[in-house]
């Protein structure tokens, strides 16, 4: 499996280059436009939420992102040392409401899970070091 790995700071500016590099990597490895869109969306939403809501100490932290692609498989692994959040512990948001009336929390995970190519999604916390 081909692998692309990033280690970024908990700064939204560091997230900008991840999408471009991920798209180029997945295109080179034969991923479909739909898979590339889903991967970019999942990474953007999950990492930006980690940056915005996972840290309250004001210190610099690192987030590791690994994209694996081979054949029909696409895996994304995100590791951080932010505040733990288990999206499976919350009921899914109502998808029948208008977007303008929806609460912001929870929808990103639902969207990422819906776009996922896998039939199951595993949520795990592997803490990285703060170095």
Name the helix (H) or strand (E) containing 78.
Answer: strand 73-79
- Residue 114, pLDDT > 60, answer no
In angstroms, rounded to a whole number, what is the distance separating the alpha carbons of residues 111 and 94?
12
Beta carbons of 46 and 112 less than 8 angstroms apart:
yes
Per CATH, the number for 2-115 is: 3.30.565.10
Paired tokens of 117: 């190519």
What is the rounded CA–CA span in Å between residue 131 and residue 128? 9
Helices marked H in 54-78 — which ranges?
none
Better pLDDT: 65 or 87: 65
Q: Measuring CA to CA, which residue among 51, 66, 44, 53 is closest to residue 115?
A: 44
| CA distance readout (Å), 124 to 34, 58, 90, 96 | 25, 24, 15, 29
Q: Which sequence spans correspond to the domains of the chain?
A: 2-115
The pLDDT of residue 125 is 43
Q: So what's the pLDDT on residue 92?
A: 75
- pLDDT confidence tier of residue 62, bands split at 50, 70 and 90: very high
Distance CA(69)–CA(80), nearest Å, equals: 21
Each residue's pLDDT tens digit, 43-57? 999 999 999 999 999
Least confident segment among 2-11, 64-73, 101-110: 101-110
């Amino acid at each position: 499996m081909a692998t692309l790995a990033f280690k970024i700071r908990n700064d939204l500016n560091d997230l900008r280059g991840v999408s471009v590099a991920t798209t180029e990597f997945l295109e080179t490895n034969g991923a479909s436009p739909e898979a590339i869109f889903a991967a970019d969306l999942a990474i953007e939403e999950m990492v930006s939420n980690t940056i915005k809501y996972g840290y309250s100490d004001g210190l610099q932290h690192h987030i590791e992102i690994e994209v694996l692609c081979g054949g029909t498989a696409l895996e994304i692994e995100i590791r951080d040392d932010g505040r733990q959040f288990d999206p499976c512990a919350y009921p899914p948001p109502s998808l029948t409401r208008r977007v303008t009336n929806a609460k912001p929390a929870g929808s990103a995970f639902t969207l990422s899970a819906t776009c996922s190519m896998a039939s199951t999604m595993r949520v795990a916390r592997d803490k990285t070091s703060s170095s």
